[in-house]
Amino acid sequence: MKKTAIVTGASRGIGRATALRLAQDGFAVAANYLSNAAEADKVVAAIRKAGGAAIAVQGDVAEPSDVERLFADTTKEFGTVDVVVHNSGILLNSPIAAGDVDGFDRVIRTNLRGTFLVLSQAAKQVSPGGRIIALSTTVVATTPPTYGAYATSKAGVEALVRTLSKEMRGRQITVNAVAPGATTTEMFLEGKSEELLAQLKKTGPMERFGEPDEIARAVSFLAGPDGAWVNGQVLRVNGGTA
């Protein structure tokens, strides 16, 4: 039977690249999305055109019933859940002194509550020998100004990953996080001037941004047989930024 991967936030950016890469690796893919059905359908169409199997499943990762339905629809279609890649997230740039409580709550709801719900279902439903992978961020290590809410939410993601890796004892299921550096996604590029982007490129020793495909390769490693002995870790994929 073909193994199956759920990828949340799969309609664009790192999630899209990951869904396409895992399909290339031989997984059937359930591509979750929140609102962009057209882009999610494009991901599914690309996988099917290449000979793979895929479905798109709408759902808010911060809503328990939506997360339960995501896993139920995947199991109904493909019979199993072997890999879960939780990529969904939102970004807020706001200094802590601004006191944007509503913005903070939105970030925590999607990034941390959403991770808790997806990992909770994954812990119950991933097949023995499977993989659970969550996306964090190098911002947890670099803590730049205005990223307080985002860094806080993703630090919580890393804590959940390390904790769950211990709770999965005896099932041969690994739980890890991938923490990208600055990557050329819509979420990262939005609202940044060319001057700022040029400045940011210089912060790391590689003097460039990462590409979504490069992050997807790291996820592929953790999801595949070569990553079987990596567990409870945060893999920082950032060109040496931190």
Catalytic center residues: 150
Q: Any idea which residue has 């019979």 for tokens?
A: 79
CB 32 within 8 A of CB 61: yes
Beta carbons of 55 and 27 less than 8 angstroms apart: no
Distance, CA of 200 to CA of 198 (rounded, Å):
6
Q: What is the rounded CA–CA span in Å between residue 66 and residue 44?
A: 20
For residues 60 and 88, what is the distance between their CA atoms, to the nearest angstrom? Answer: 9
Which CB contacts under 8 angstroms, 24+ apart, belong to 33-38?
33/9, 33/57, 33/58, 33/59, 34/9, 34/58, 34/59, 34/60, 34/61, 34/88, 36/11, 36/12
